[in-house]
């Protein structure tokens, strides 16, 4: 039988037997990552691939593909499918950039007291009992499963030191750019949840295997895992039904923490290893938001602070040790590269910073590579600079597309997508302060968290209304979610504290609470 190959990926080099499905379907089966931000609906145009061999065995160009005016050897993976192919097909994935995933985190100061400890010549778990004989090492794994990226850190549970960090793009992008697309996939396919879960597990197993090439044996010494993520990501990681998050009232089936043998999930670690998923808050505010709050110490502070985690799913928290309120919204899709003509993720070659000087465009790319597009921080800089230069009006209008290079430009439709995304996040910030009974002047610190937020220029973000106009209060805290997961891994007391904090947080849904919510958002779309 003929096979389809994706030679850029180790699994894809073995190929998969051709079946009745699109190239995107074959990629999912092979474990090859193709950006499909619309989940294969044919609307985003990001899943462009080059057919290096066997193009004659594919169907004719579809109407969607003709509208894209693709080069002769390129197809959309969600549209192209084998048509009676008797020859092998080789597919080259064009969007294959390496993500620059934020690995810097807060260094939380916790007393070392993990759930797993050594007692003589045995390894013992605080709840699961004896895990087996001491074999010279005792590791744990902290994992932040983001919608766009996965970041993990292996820690030595005997002294708390970091053994190594794992970072990669979330392979679930095969099923859509956002959690709603992925939830929909589980509803539309009987094995959809299993597919989503297993591509996460495969990614972590592969990365752990790769780490061993650099650090020696790791997996056989892993006894404890702490996982955080938004509500959908945590539930999918543990193979739990997420359909309730895709229908009114958009709530997870349970908020409590979850724990199970890691082997039950398919993780290639010590047979007695346990996997723990942090508690959820409510709606789409998940274990990552709890980890953010714990890492920043909001739950212990007398002063009122604000936390803003900007990602594909954005979370906002306001409060102190007496009371914390949260809200969440779809914040980062446009700023992660979805729906924006020139937008890309934080890959090598992405324009991350932009300046307009005397009518001339200057920019800096990630890794100082040739420019491929503009990532989130660069898009914020670009909007702010266009506004200051008068190229864009306070009503967010430009006369014509603005070019950064010959092939990279921003259009009026792109700007509409960006201001819509920022308006939703800013609305949640302002309404949460209103519900809490404070203003910006009453906030001592504004913690800016997440891989995206860590690179944002606070002054430019304030200029376009994405953040409050208080740059001096802004504190970059890196990947606070991973920092919180790491702290919960090293301290069973802090793990219990996180559960108590999560249970007491007041989660609010401004879009349901405000009758005029749509008008409030509309007012914040402009400058």
Strand, coil or helix: what is 20? coil
How many secondary structure helices (H) and strands (E) does the chain include? Answer: 14, 25
Identify each DSSP E strand in 370-424 by its residue range. 373-374, 402-403, 409-410
Q: How far apart are CA 452 and CA 338, in angstroms?
A: 14
Identify each DSSP E strand in 322-386 by its residue range. 324-330, 350-357, 360-365, 373-374
Q: How far apart are CA 312 and CA 335, in angstroms?
A: 8
- Give every CB contact of residue 490 below 8 A, 6+ residues apart in sequence: 110, 112, 113, 114, 140, 155, 157, 160
pLDDT tens for the chain, 527 residues long, are 899 998 877 677 789 999 999 999 999 888 887 877 677 888 877 788 989 889 999 999 999 999 888 888 889 999 999 997 688 999 988 765 555 544 455 556 678 999 999 999 999 998 889 999 999 999 999 999 998 889 999 999 999 999 988 888 888 988 887 899 899 999 999 999 999 999 999 999 999 998 988 888 999 999 999 999 999 999 999 999 999 999 999 999 999 999 999 999 999 999 999 999 999 999 999 999 999 999 999 999 999 999 998 877 789 999 999 999 999 987 656 777 667 888 877 777 889 899 998 889 999 988 788 898 898 889 999 999 999 999 999 999 999 999 999 889 999 999 998 998 889 899 999 999 999 999 999 999 999 887 666 678 889 999 999 999 998 899 888 789 999 999 999 999 999 999 999 999 999 999 999 999 999 999 999 88
Q: How far apart are CA 408 and CA 227, in angstroms?
A: 38
Q: What is the pLDDT of residue 102?
A: 46
Four-residue CA torsion sign, 512, 513, 518, 523: negative
Q: What is the pLDDT of residue 452?
A: 63
The answer to whether 234 and 227 are in contact (CB under 8 A) is yes
Other C-beta atoms within 10 Å of 216: how many? 10
* Residue 348 dihedral angles phi and psi, to the nearest 5°: -60, 125
Give the residue among 243, 232, 334 at the shortest CA–CA distance from 284.
Answer: 232
**Burial classification of residue 462, based on how many CB atoms lie within 10 Å of its CB (0-12 exposed, 13-18 middle, 19 or more buried):** middle
In angstroms, the first-to-last Cα distance of the chain is 59
Q: How far apart are CA 237 and CA 287, in angstroms?
A: 12
Q: How far apart are CA 443 and CA 467, in angstroms?
A: 13
256 DSSP assignment: S
DSSP string over 229-244: E-HHHHHHHTT---GG
Q: How far apart are CA 436 and CA 111, in angstroms?
A: 32
Written as six digits, the tokens of 415 are: 């700007």
Domains along the sequence of the chain with CATH: 3-93 (3.10.20.30), 116-291 (3.30.420.480)
- Give every CB contact of residue 42 below 8 A, 6+ residues apart in sequence: 62, 64, 76, 78, 79
Give whole-number Cα distances, 197 to 203, 252, 424, in Å: 10, 16, 29
Q: What is the pLDDT of residue 331?
A: 63
Q: Does a cis peptide bond (omega within 30 degrees of 0) precede residue 259? A: no
**Residue linked to tokens 């499918």:** 81
Q: What is the pLDDT of residue 213?
A: 82
């Amino acid at each position: 039988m003929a096979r389809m190959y994706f030679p850029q990926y180790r699994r894809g080099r073995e190929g998969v037997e051709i079946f009745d499905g699109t190239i995107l379907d074959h990629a999912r089966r092979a474990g090859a990552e193709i950006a499909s931000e619309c989940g294969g609906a044919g609307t985003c145009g990001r899943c462009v691939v080059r057919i290096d061999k066997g193009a004659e065995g594919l169907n004719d160009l579809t109407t969607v593909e003709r509208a894209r005016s693709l080069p002769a050897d390129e197809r959309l993976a969600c549209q192209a499918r084998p048509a009676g192919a008797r020859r092998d097909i080789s597919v080259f994935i064009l969007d294959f950039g390496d993500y620059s995933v934020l690995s810097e985190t807060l260094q939380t100061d916790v007393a070392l007291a993990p759930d797993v400890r050594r007692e003589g010549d045995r390894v013992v778990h605080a709840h699961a009992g004896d895990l087996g004989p001491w074999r010279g090492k005792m590791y744990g794994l902290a994992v932040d499963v983001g919608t766009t990226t996965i970041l993990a850190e292996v820690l030595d549970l005997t002294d708390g030191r970091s053994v190594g960090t794992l970072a990669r793009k979330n392979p679930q992008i095969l099923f859509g750019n956002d959690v709603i697309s992925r939830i929909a996939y589980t509803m539309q396919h009987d094995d959809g949840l299993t597919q989503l879960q297993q591509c996460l597990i495969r990614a972590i197993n592969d990365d752990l295997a790769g780490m061993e090439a650099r650090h020696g044996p790791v997996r056989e010494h892993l006894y404890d895992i702490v996982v955080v993520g938004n509500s959908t990501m945590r539930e999918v990681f543990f193979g739990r039904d997420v359909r309730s998050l895709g229908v009114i009232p958009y709530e997870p089936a349970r908020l409590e923490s979850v724990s199970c043998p890691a082997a039950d999930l398919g993780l290639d670690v010590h047979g007695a290893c346990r996997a723990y998923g942090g508690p959820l808050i409510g709606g789409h505010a998940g274990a990552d938001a709890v980890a953010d709050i714990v890492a920043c110490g909001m739950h212990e502070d007398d002063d009122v602070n604000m936390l803003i985690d900007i990602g594909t799913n954005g979370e906002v928290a306001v409060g102190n040790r007496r009371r914390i309120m949260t809200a969440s919204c779809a914040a980062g899709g446009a700023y992660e590269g979805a729906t924006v003509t020139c937008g890309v993720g934080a890959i090598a070659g992405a324009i991350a910073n932009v300046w307009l000087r005397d009518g001339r465009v200057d920019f800096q790319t990630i890794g100082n590579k040739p420019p491929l597009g503009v990532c989130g921080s660069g898009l914020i800089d670009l909007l702010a600079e266009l506004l200051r230069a008068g190229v864009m009006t306070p009503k967010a209008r430009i006369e014509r597309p603005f070019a950064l290079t010959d092939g990279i430009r921003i259009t009026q439709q792109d700007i509409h997508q960006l201001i819509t995304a920022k308006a939703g996040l800013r609305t949640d910030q302002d309404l949460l302060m209103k519900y809490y009974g404070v203003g910006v002047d009453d906030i001592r610190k504004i913690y800016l968290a997440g891989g995206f937020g860590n690179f944002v220029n606070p002054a430019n973000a304030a200029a376009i209304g994405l953040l409050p106009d208080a740059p001096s209060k802004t504190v970059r805290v890196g990947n606070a979610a991973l920092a919180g997961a790491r702290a919960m891994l090293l301290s069973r007391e802090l793990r219990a504290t996180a559960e108590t904090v999560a249970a007491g947080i007041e989660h609010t849904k401004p879009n349901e609470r405000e009758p005029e919510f749509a008008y409030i958002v509309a007012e914040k779309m402009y400058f």
